[in-house]
């Protein structure tokens, strides 16, 4: 990144779309500021006012102060023209021209998946977050979970990623190194410590503004090629993020919930309207994203499959052992060979499905994954 990239950020009236268009036209912010008045007015079609601001390099002094601020707080600024900039985010037309990053730059271009949801999270939704990320962690290399560092589903996704040794990125709506909500400051530190990053598009002197959270959502939607909505009421920020992702041609996925549960109205409607693909297991996400899973010989820093199976409950191991890897089995046959009640068996199978160990087939038959 050059100082001209920051100067463009501080040039009044340009905005995200304007910066993206100008840099695309000239190839770089340096070339833009080196352009003649005639080029800016006649070739690009800028107004006299905006051309004068660029020619006067009005944002240069503020850019110098921002560089000093970033150095003081160990923040890295990267421009959309830098190779470190997230590749999926570079594709959207309203991308921020500059990102401020604290933590691992490498995590920005890992295999990212955005996961968001309501702040009023149900206990079962927290379990769903952990189950999905656990299943992904066992099968996907260089995975990184992107979310908004907010209360509820966002925080649960970040914590699950850390628990399963998966990198995670928190996208915030305030200048770094500030973190909001304040109770998540330790979570942000843990994210950075474990190879993730905290990202903002806001320079140091940006005033607090509630509308910035909506703008932040486009970064969450744009940083990944897919997004999972875990739980959402009929309205809310996670639905706006889903709509943004849909507009960016991302794969939108949602976890269904009980029809009587208000915190599931939004996700159920996304699925019913066809805007989101239904997700029950980590394998559903892997298939929808068309990701290649780790082969046994590849390995990673997670526990082996044998160790994971050893962590299952006795009931889960009983059911898993009863389901052959070469043939399928019906619910009635499982009831007979496990001696469980229908309620116990149904809950155990659901847990195994969420963990990615078994798959339900038509006719209520099951097979091992």
The CATH T-level fold of domain 305-368 is Arc Repressor Mutant, subunit A (1.10.10)
pLDDT in tens, 99-149: 999 999 999 999 999 999 999 998 889 999 999 999 999 999 999 999 999
Beta bridge partners of 147: 170
What does pTM read for this prediction?
Answer: 0.80
Q: What does the pLDDT average to over 175-201?
A: 96
pLDDT in tens, 25-59: 999 999 999 999 999 999 999 999 999 999 999 99
Q: What is the pLDDT of residue 309?
A: 65
Q: How many alpha carbons lie under 13 Å from residue 116 in its C-beta half-sphere? A: 32
Q: What is the pLDDT of residue 297?
A: 46
Joined tokens for residue 205: 């002197």
Answer CATH for 106-289 from 3.40.50.450, 3.30.70.20, 3.30.70.360, 3.40.630.10: 3.40.50.450
Q: Answer yes or no: is pLDDT of 365 > 90.
A: no
Q: How many CB atoms lie within 10 A of CB 113?
A: 28
Banded model confidence at residue 75, pLDDT cuts 50, 70, 90: very high
Q: How many CB atoms lie within 10 A of CB 339?
A: 9
Identify each DSSP E strand in 162-313 by its residue range.
Answer: 167-171, 197-200, 226-229, 251-254, 277-278
Joined tokens for residue 292: 């290649």
Please name the residue ranges forming H helices in 255-298. Answer: 265-272, 282-289
* DSSP for 253-264, written as a single string: EE----TT-GGG
Q: What does the pLDDT average to over 343-367?
A: 82
Q: Answer yes or no: is pLDDT of 301 > 50.
A: no
List the chain domain ranges: 3-103, 106-289, 305-368
């Amino acid at each position: 990144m050059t100082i001209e990239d920051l100067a463009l950020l501080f040039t009044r009236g340009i905005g995200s779309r304007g910066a993206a268009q100008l840099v695309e036209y000239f190839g770089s912010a340096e070339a833009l500021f080196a352009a003649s008045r005639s080029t800016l007015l006649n070739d690009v079609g800028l107004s006299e006012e905006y051309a004068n601001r660029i020619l006067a390099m009005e944002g240069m002094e503020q850019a110098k102060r921002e560089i000093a601020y970033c150095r003081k707080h160990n923040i890295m600024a990267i421009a959309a023209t830098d190779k470190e900039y997230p590749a999926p985010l570079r594709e959207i037309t309203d991308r921020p021209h500059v990102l401020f990053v604290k933590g691992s730059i490498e995590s920005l271009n890992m295999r990212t998946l955005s996961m968001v949801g309501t702040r009023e999270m149900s206990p079962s939704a927290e379990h769903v977050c952990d189950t999905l990320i656990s299943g992904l962690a066992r099968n996907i290399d260089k995975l990184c979970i992107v979310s908004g560092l907010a209360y509820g589903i966002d925080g649960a996704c970040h914590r699950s990623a850390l628990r399963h040794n998966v990198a995670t990125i928190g996208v915030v709506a305030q200048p770094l190194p500030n973190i909001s909500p304040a109770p998540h400051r330790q979570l942000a530190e843990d994210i950075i410590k474990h190879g993730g990053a905290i990202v903002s598009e806001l320079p140091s002197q940006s005033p607090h503004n509630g509308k910035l959270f909506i703008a932040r959502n486009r970064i969450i939607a744009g940083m990944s090629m897919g997004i999972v909505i875990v739980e959402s009421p009929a309205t809310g920020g996670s639905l706006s993020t889903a709509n943004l992702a849909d507009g960016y041609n991302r794969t939108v996925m949602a976890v269904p919930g009980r029809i009587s549960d208000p915190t599931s109205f939004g996700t159920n409607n996304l699925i019913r309207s066809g805007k989101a693909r239904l997700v029950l297991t980590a394998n559903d996400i892997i298939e929808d994203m068309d990701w290649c899973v780790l082969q046994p010989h590849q390995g990673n820093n997670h526990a082996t499959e044998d160790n994971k199976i050893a962590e299952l409950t006795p009931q889960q191991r009983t059911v898993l052992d009863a389901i052959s890897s070469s043939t399928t089995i019906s619910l009635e046959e499982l009831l007979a060979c496990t001696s469980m009640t229908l309620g116990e068996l149904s809950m155990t199978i659901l847990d195994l499905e969420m963990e990615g160990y078994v798959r339900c087939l038509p006719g209520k038959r099951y097979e091992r994954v």
